[in-house]
Structure 1
Amino acid sequence: MTELAIETRGLTKQFDRHLAVSDLDLQVRVGEVYGLIGPNGAGKTTLLRMLATAEEATTGEIYIHGERLKRDHTNSSLKQRLGYLPDDFPLYNDLTVWDYLDYFARLYYLREPKRSRRLYDVLELVQLTNKRKSQISTLSRGMKQRLSLARTIIHEPLVLLLDEPVSGLDPIARMQFRDIIKSLHEAGMTIIISSHVLSDLEDFCTSIGIMELGYLVESASLQELYQRLSHQYILIGVWGKLEGLIEQLKNYPQVEGWEIIPQTQKVRVQFSGSQRDCAKLLRKLMTENIAITEFAPTQESLESIFLKLEHKQAS
């Protein structure tokens, strides 16, 4: 069984009369990128703050690589395995990029020459090497967010906790940040990232957790979620009339339904088979002399799955 990087048991956080996180059991394997999604107020930020020891749990336990994580001073070495980027961490605008990172590197007791090497490494990773002498006040929002990430990983943590890191960024800045996360994942880092931009999570997450009113209502690998909750569709285009295609679809067992796209020679087919079954369907249509101009299997997006689960919870 793959080692767990993060495990919580009965994790609960109560603020006066408000239950922010309730009896939460979470398991994240080593090397995963775990996407945490849910509406505002679902408890995502509170969960991340407890994992980062920035918030004390009311009840429950947290384990990092099998070792109990406590908020007191008894396991400082364990806390150094964590990197936490909250959604509102302040930057010191009067410092240069280099001095800012150097300050945090010193806080983690990085000594020369390792400290300078590490600064150059993280600046290259976040694509800010040419900005190392610039004042932070002159950076764009996307650059500032990448700098915040560099500060978060300066001490080479094993577990990275990111709270809405792409919130408010433009599409290019989101893409740059996403590429950095992919690089960290490829290097073996375990990452939990919360986000409202579900299309970004879909691109690089290995597992997804869905929170609702403090509860973890769903936690599974992205592949399992797709298999269990996502419908597969095939967009099929033909040259000529659609009648021949429709007749063939009626007799194919994995075809669960279809709709003709108006003013086109295309049909959107709901399909329950595997990729191999898709290939067999295409071969069947071609042997029946159906003039195929387009054959494009697609799946429902993560956003569609999330909305489906939201509707199920509401009903």
Structure 2
Amino acid sequence: MIDAINLTKKFGDLTGVDSLTFHVSEGEVFGFLGPNGAGKTTTVRMLCCLISKTSGEAKIAGYDTTNDADSLKIRRIIGFMPENVGLYSELSAYQNLDFYAKLYDRTEQQRKESIERLLRLLGLWEKKDVAVGTFSKGMKQKVAIARALVHDPEILFLDEPTANLDPEAAKTVRDFITELKKEKKTIFLNTHNLDEAQKLCDRIGILKTHLLRIGTPEELKESLWGSKTVIQLEEVDDRIVSAVRQHTSGKVVVEDHRLVIDVKNAGKENPGLVQAIVAAGGRVQFVQGLNPTLEDVYLKTVRETL
């Protein structure tokens, strides 16, 4: 649904986005992680036909973002929620959504059904006739998400949808994205929130002007140092270490009274490792997995480029 091939954007001598290549499949939730200034918003703006590329290619559902006729078709099948919501403050929530729905030639019945559905899902139906200028940041954010969806787009671009929201409002937005995911919407999500990315995204790209890593959350974590098993013992001696090394091809590290062992499949390997230790006279106190977090992956990846 979304394709970028060597996509590049320069602002004078500054390269904002450098040779991005990736593919987002239909129904996938794809997340972009990166520090401020990494090029996340610039990438989305190019994909949404809001700014031109310097070089490379970008296609949405097969349509070329730089072709004038195609760009009109792209605008009809995508929804975009920018970081700055940009609503008409003097209009009510309902009037804001109705105005944008009319731009997509939605019938009156389609507009009514879509607006009510979205505002109810986001907990704003009771506030439908209130001017959005009186709304909190979180409520405005919800209206902006509804606006991006009011014409029932195939593809949704969300730029920092939970930025600066209180925990309750952020959870409501995340729950709503989860519902959209169940509807098989294709979603492109820019976020700084690592927990949010891990919970919502099928795949994640880590960006810092150019794409540093890409994969599922599990693949990214696996790429850092793989999977390890930690076995805490009452005592560790040479016989126990030898028994473990005979039982595994993974690296074995002794740290005081515990063994840290590289494993490929903990569920299959751990019972045999414990059995070998017990047979060698070891007394096991506990066994646990040692897996990197997405935060570990992100920080290591970004710092490697400093």
TM-score, with structure 1 as normaliser? 0.84
Match in the other structure for 2:300:
308
Deviations for 1:196-242, whole angstroms, at most 9, x for unmatched residues? 11121011211111212x211222233322332244355667xxx72
| Structure 2 residue 275 is matched with structure 1 residue 284 | yes
| Structure 2 residue 37 is matched with structure 1 residue 41 | yes
Match in the other structure for 2:235:
243
| Percent identity for Structure 1 against Structure 2 | 30
Q: Could you tell me how far apart the structure 2 residues matched to 1:245 and 1:105 are? A: 72
**What does residue range 112-261 of structure 1 map to in structure 2 within 5 Å?**
112-212=108-208, 214-234=209-229, 242-243=234-235, 251-252=243-244, 253=248, 254=250, 256-257=252-253, 259=255
8 A contact 2:9–2:15 mirrored in 1: yes
Q: Could you tell me how far apart the structure 2 residues matched to 1:175 and 1:250 are? A: 50
Q: Could you tell me how far apart the structure 2 residues matched to 1:30 and 1:246 are? A: 54
Deviations for 1:257-292, whole angstroms, at most 9, x for unmatched residues? 3656xxxxx968454231423552586389669887
| Structure 2 residue 264 is matched with structure 1 residue 273 | yes
User: Helix, strand or coil: the match of 2:111?
Assistant: helix
User: Helix, strand or coil: the match of 1:192?
Assistant: strand
Segments of 4+ in structure 1 off by > 6 A?
Answer: 244-247, 285-293
Match in the other structure for 2:89:
93
| Structure 2 residue 6 is matched with structure 1 residue 15 | no
Q: Could you tell me how far apart the structure 2 residues matched to 1:173 and 1:285 are? A: 51
Of the structure 1 ranges 287-296 and 139-148, higher mean CA displacement relative to structure 2 is found in: 287-296
| Structure 2 residue 49 is matched with structure 1 residue 53 | yes
User: Helix, strand or coil: the match of 1:243?
Assistant: coil
Unaligned stretches of 5+ residues in structure 1: 261-265
Q: Could you tell me how far apart the structure 2 residues matched to 1:165 and 1:309 are? A: 24
Q: Could you tell me how far apart the structure 2 residues matched to 1:246 and 1:132 are? A: 72
Partner AA of 1:58 in structure 2: T
RMSD value, Cα? 2.8
Deviations for 1:136-159, whole angstroms, at most 9, x for unmatched residues? 233322222111111111111111
Unaligned stretches of 5+ residues in structure 2: none
Of the structure 1 ranges 78-87 and 274-283, higher mean CA displacement relative to structure 2 is found in: 274-283
User: Helix, strand or coil: the match of 2:98?
Assistant: helix
Pairwise CA distance, 1:6: 0.6
8 A contact 2:28–2:202 mirrored in 1: yes
Counterparts in 2 of 1:224 and 1:116: CA distance versus 1, 3 Å? same
Of the structure 1 ranges 25-34 and 251-260, higher mean CA displacement relative to structure 2 is found in: 251-260
Q: Could you tell me how far apart the structure 1 residues matched to 2:238 and 2:135 are? A: 57
TM-score, with structure 2 as normaliser? 0.86
Counterparts in 2 of 1:285 and 1:187: CA distance versus 1, 3 Å? farther
Pairwise CA distance, 1:193: 1.0
Q: Could you tell me how far apart the structure 1 residues matched to 2:94 and 2:237 are? A: 63
Counterparts in 2 of 1:279 and 1:183: CA distance versus 1, 3 Å? farther
Of the structure 1 ranges 114-123 and 268-277, higher mean CA displacement relative to structure 2 is found in: 268-277
8 A contact 1:21–1:215 mirrored in 2: yes
8 A contact 1:235–1:269 mirrored in 2: yes
